[in-house]
Structures are given as structure tokens and as C-alpha cells.
Chains A and B, each alone.
Chain A
Amino acid sequence: MNRAAVAIDQLGRTVLEYVEEMGKIALLFLSVLRWMFQPPLKSHLIFKQMEFVGNKSIFVVVLTGAFTGMVMALQGYYGFKMFSAESMVGSVVALGMTRELGPVLTSLMVTARAGSAMAAELGTMRVTEQIDALSVMAANPVKHLIVPRVIAGVLMLPLLTVVSDFMGILGGYFVGVHLLHINSGIFVKNITTIVDLDDLYNGLVKAAVFGLILSLIGCYKGFNTRGGAEGVGKATTEAVVLSSITILISDYFLTAIMF
């Protein structure tokens, strides 16, 4: 076989592997759905994960949100200044945060923080046979381990996004009004006229979808870890990469559908 053929063969295999992986993730999602509606729900496990995904991500989300808003205000200011439309800065920051940057950046941060942790945790449980132990004790691992994480992801991401949106707008307000001396009344008024409820809510729907994606992929990668400590590391990296890519790609399609 010549080199080209090998390359094509390799490409085909890679594509097939990805497709297979997507299929497996989809199947995992179905089984999560199935177990989600089988009582009893492990509420303490869910709350534990919600605390992990939500509360413990607040700091990083506040930080990224605020600074993103500030940077947007600064950049937008120089752009709008050319048209003497500095007062539009607020609406651009608000629209950008609610529609796009809030959900996406929050999800990426949570992926890095919690998605990777999910993969590492489940990966460790897999290689130390804790997942087998669960099965042996007639406790379904999907129900005990994955369902709480996915629920936490889907519920907490929108909330974190709300915080991120708010902090972003606050950051933009700070830079715009206090540093760049844009009239505060006009700044706020432009936000409220241009931003719609739909912008806000669609951003939150996006965030929920991203929460599903990152928790599902994190769990999938961890759950299917092979090969000891090295395997755990690999699973963690793959989870972050695959989640981030999937979030960005699905963001495009969600945006296309929603707006």
C-alpha cells in the first residue's frame, strides 16, 4: 500500500472512531435519561455534584465574566468612538455576554474545572475497580455516578451563566462609565432597549445544553478509562478537548437555530 492509501485509511479510521464515540456518548445519554427517571433519585449525590459544579466554580466564572465584559467595553469603545457612538458600548457588551460569551466562556471554564475533574474522578474509580464494586453491589454506576453529574451540569451551567452575564455587564459598566466616562444613564438605557428577554433566555438554554455536553463527555471519558494512572490522565485531557470542541461547534448550530 502506498503512502497516500495509508493516509486515507488512517483518516477513515479516525473518522469512524469519532463517529463511534459519538454514538457511544449518545447511548450513554439515553441510559442517563432512563436512569434519571427511575426513583429513588440520589438527591444527596446530586446536591454534592451541584455544589462541586456550581458553587465551586463561582469564583472563576465571576472573574472570567467580569474581565471579559471589561475587555469588551474597552475594545468596543475604541471601535465605536470612530462613529461617535460610544454609548453603544453597553449594549454590545450586554448582547455579547448574554448571547454568546456568557454561556460559552462559562462552559469552557467549567469544562476545565469540573468536566476534567469528572473524567479524572470516574477514571480513577474505573481503574481502582470502584465502578465494578458498585456493579457488584447491584448499584447501577450510571445512576450513582453519571446521573447526578449530568443533572448538576444541566442545572448549574445556566445559573453560572447568569452570574457570568451579570458580572460581564457590571465589568463593562465599570470600564465604560468610570474609566471611559460614558454617561451611565445612556449606557444602561442602551442595554435595556437593545437586549431582549429572548437574548438572555436563549443564552441560558445554550448554557444548559453545554452543561449537558461537558458533563456527559467528562463522565463518558472517565467511565471508559483504561490503563491505570496514565489512562486517567489521558481520559482527562480527552474529556476537556472533546468537550471544548463540541461546545464550540454546537454553539454555532444553536446560534443558527435560535437567533
Chain B
Amino acid sequence: MFSISSEAKVGIFVLIGLIILAYMSFQVGQRGFGLKKGYSVDVFFNNVAGLERDASVQIAGVEIGRVESIALKDGKALVTLRIGKDIKLARDVKAAIKTHGILGDKYIELVPGKDEEIYIHEGGRIINVESQADLDRLLNQLAFIADDIKKVTGALSSVLAGDEGEASIKDILENSRQLTRNLNTVVKSNEATLRAVLENTRQLTENLNNVVTKNDEKMAQTIENLRGASEQMEKTFASLNDITESIKKGEGTAGRLIKDKDMAVKLDQAIDSLRDVTDKINQGKGTIGKLINDEETVNNLNEGLTGLSRYINKAEQFRTFLSYRGEYLFDSSEAKNYLDIKIQPKQDKFYIVGLVSDPQGKKTIRDTTVAGVTTRTEEWDRDGLLFNAQIGKRYKDIVIRGGLLESTGGVGLDYFALNDKLKFTFEAFDFSADEKTHLKAAAEYQLFKHLYLSFGWDDFISDKGQESPYAGISIRFEDDDLKYLLTTTPIPK
């Protein structure tokens, strides 16, 4: 019997496996191939939320490239596109982030430019960016409109579909039937009279015809008047259109209006008055008329909106941090606790207010004069709390701050490194004349998102033997609720 060796069998299997792998890789990775050779183009967006790496770049729905990378640069999203090498992009090409599919996949749509003289080359930049349509807002509005429509149709259906509605429709039909029968009877019984009437009419039109031919010019004038009237009507209808908007909301009213027996009369009256109103509005009479027709109103509204958005922006910028810091002093085996609120109205400016519990306590100096001899006593209140109130400003990686440090005047200097993860701090306070300044140096490292570890040397030139190395741990987080609470109070600029 012919037998195949293990080696051959394994070889065949490996070969088949590799062929399948190559086939699948090629299928799956196909688009990756040619594109690697293309060229890359940068584009800045304000917001790329939802855009993923490898998202499609399309012109007129045809994929011409992929998003190669997304990075943050100067507070904007820098998106690098890789464009197929056969595609030429004019310099004034326009880029926009679009959404497709129900799942909301984002892609970048390029609208070709007209300036075909200059093309964008490798590493170039697309300058025209269409800001992203706020889909959420659009959807919200749509939902509102749908709601309104539902209300109107609901009202209509309640009028027409109910037993009452059916009955009234029946009544109307019955009435019309009787009316036509009556008419019929009238017509039959007065045939002769009618004939006479018709004869009269014929003569009348004949006469009229004579009159018209004789008074051609006058007739034309009349027709002109009529045209003017119909124009007026048209305007009225346009106004009516506006009004129906408001009627739509008055769900019950419309319903009642339709049901009412005096409907015709009232409607007539209503339309009359409406026409009065719309006329007046069109002429700019009354408050609403002024509102709608006045340019100033629009401007005011615009300003109002701008103001609102500025206000919201401020809230976005305005940040509040709560922090707790515990420092364990090795030499005295005691702990110092800090509780601070840091308010940061602008990126580079902040205020700190806080409490410090110092094992040394609060120093109270009291001069007592007994019989002409003044004795100065220093009292340390061990339960006393010290206060922090500082104002600080940041210049790139350096922060300078000053104010009350542990209830005495002082200054501090921070230096940030490693993307703000590492902070070196130097503080000097308590410049009172009778003892050496309290100096403190420390390094703090951000271990996790909200957790920091610090090491330092407190009061290191102390003349009271209070110098001590320490290790500290601090928890710091941004308080959003507090932030919004605070933005409703005036903000110092």
C-alpha cells in the first residue's frame, strides 16, 4: 500500500491552511492595500465625536480614502486622512463629517472644489470645513413637530370618529337631502315662473352685453379692481397659514369649532376678525406685528441667543475641584489634613479656599500687660483650624499663587511635568519676624485619575524643630454639580 509520510500530510494541511488564511486576509484587508500608498491630508474639526479611525472618506458617496488617525491639537481635532493616490483634491475642497445608516456610522464627506489650478499634496491641509449639523437638535425638533401633528389628528379623529360626530354628519346629509328635495319641488311647481325668469335673464344678459360693449373701458377697470381684490385675498390666505400654526396648538378649540352648530357664523366672524388682525400684522400694527416685522426684534433675539451661548461656554470653562490631602509627618508622627475647593474660572486662573488641620495647631499671640510689664504669650490651639485662601495664575507649566497659606500670608510656586501628572511645589509662608519662615517643598504624582501621592519636607528651616519629611495622599475630583451651582452666581472676570 502506498503510504504518505507524516511530513507530507502535515505539509499539505499547512499549505491548505495558509491558502485559506491568505484568502481571508486578502478579502478582509483588501482596502488596506492600495490605500497605504496614497497620500495623507490633514483637516481640523471642532468636534469629531463618533468618528473612528479607518472611517470612510467619500466624495459623492464613493470611498476615496480612510481616516488614518485622530489626534488632539490646540484644542481641536486633527484628523489625518489617507487618500487614494489617483484622487486629486482641489485646494478649496470642503470637508464635513456626515452620518449614515441607522446605526449612525460617521464618515467624512468631501465636496470637490472648483479651484482646479492647485491641488493638495502629501501632508497638505483642507481648510474649508463644514461644521457638523447638530443631529440631536434636529431630531428633537422633529419629535416636537411629530407630537403636534399627532395632537391635531387626534382632535380630528375624536370629532369625526365619535358617535356624536357620526350623528352630526348624518344630520348634515339628511338636511342636504331634504334641501335638494325641496328645491326640486320648488323648481317643478314653478316651472312657468322659472321659464319666465330664464327668459328675463337672457334678456338681461343681452342687455348687459350691449352695456359691456358700449362701456368696454369701464369694464376693464372693474376687472382690474377685482384682480386687486383677489390679490388681497391671497395675502389673507398667507396670513391664515401663519395663524393655522397657532390653531394647531389649540387642540380643543379647533374641535369645538367644527362641532359647534353656530360654526358657520362664528367661523365667518372669526375669519373676518382674523383678516383684520393679519392685515394689521402685515401693516406692522400692534405688538405682534411689530415683533414680526421689526428688524430690531430679530437682532435682539440673536443677541439673546449669543449671550446664552457665551454663558454656557463660560460654564464649560468654569471648573471646580474638590480636594482632600492628608500628609503624614514622619518626625512628629502626626498628620496634617487639607480640605480645599479650587475654583478655576479660566484655564489659567484659579482660586483656592480651604481648611487645614495642623497638629501644631493655631498660634495665638497675646500681649498681656500686668503692672506695666508686657508679657507676650504664644498659645497653640491644637484643635484650631487654619485657613487657605489663595489666588493663582498659571503660565504654561508654572503656577504662581499667593494669599493666605495656613492662615498666614505666603506664596507658592508649582511646576508641572509629565503632562501635569507630576507636580513640584515650593511654598513659603508665615513670615513673622520672630521666627524663620515656614518653607515647604514637595513633589506630587498622579497615581490614578483621582488619586495622588506626594512626598515632601515640611518647614525645613524651622527653628523650632518642626522640620519633618512627609508622605501624603490626596484625592481630587472635579465637581460638576457644584460647578453649575456656582455659575448662576456672578463670575468675576
Contact = CB atoms under 8 A, between A and B. Distances in A.
Interface of chain A, main secondary structure: helix
Interface stretch (A12-20, A48-56, A107-115, A224-232): A48-56
A100 interface: no
B17 A197 contact: no
Contact of A192 (B9, B10, B27, B102): B27
Chain B: interface size category: 20 to 34
A51 B21 CA distance: 19
B20 A197 contact: no
B32 interface: yes
B221 interface: no
A199 B9 CA distance: 29
A196 B31 CA distance: 10
Given A85-B102, A159-B17, A162-B17, A55 B24 contact: no
A48 to B, nearest CB: 5
B233 interface: no
Contact of A50 (B6, B25, B27, B30): B6
A192 B25 CA distance: 10
A29 interface: no
B13 A54 contact: yes
Interface string A144-187: 00000000000000011011011001000000000000000000
Contacts of B25: 197, 200
A47 B29 CA distance: 32
Contact of A163 (B9, B17, B27): B17
Interface in B29-52: 29-32
A47 B7 contact: yes
B452 to A, nearest CB: 27
Interface of chain B, main secondary structure: helix
A196 B53 CA distance: 12
Given A85-B102, A163-B17, A197-B29, A54 B10 contact: yes
B101 to A, nearest CB: 9
Interface residues of A, number: 26
B28 A44 contact: no
B14 interface: yes
B193 to A, nearest CB: 70
A83 B102 contact: yes
30 contacts: A44-B6, A48-B6, A50-B6, A50-B10, A51-B6, A51-B9, A51-B10, A54-B10, A58-B13, A83-B102, A85-B102, A85-B103, A159-B13, A159-B17, A159-B21, A160-B17, A162-B20, A163-B16, A163-B17, A163-B20, A166-B23, A169-B24, A191-B27, A191-B28, A192-B30, A193-B31, A195-B28, A196-B28, A200-B21, A200-B25
Given A44-B7, A47-B7, A55-B9, 15 more contacts: A55-B10, A55-B13, A58-B13, A85-B103, A159-B18, A162-B21, A163-B20, A166-B24, A191-B28, A192-B27, A192-B30, A195-B28, A196-B29, A196-B54, A200-B24
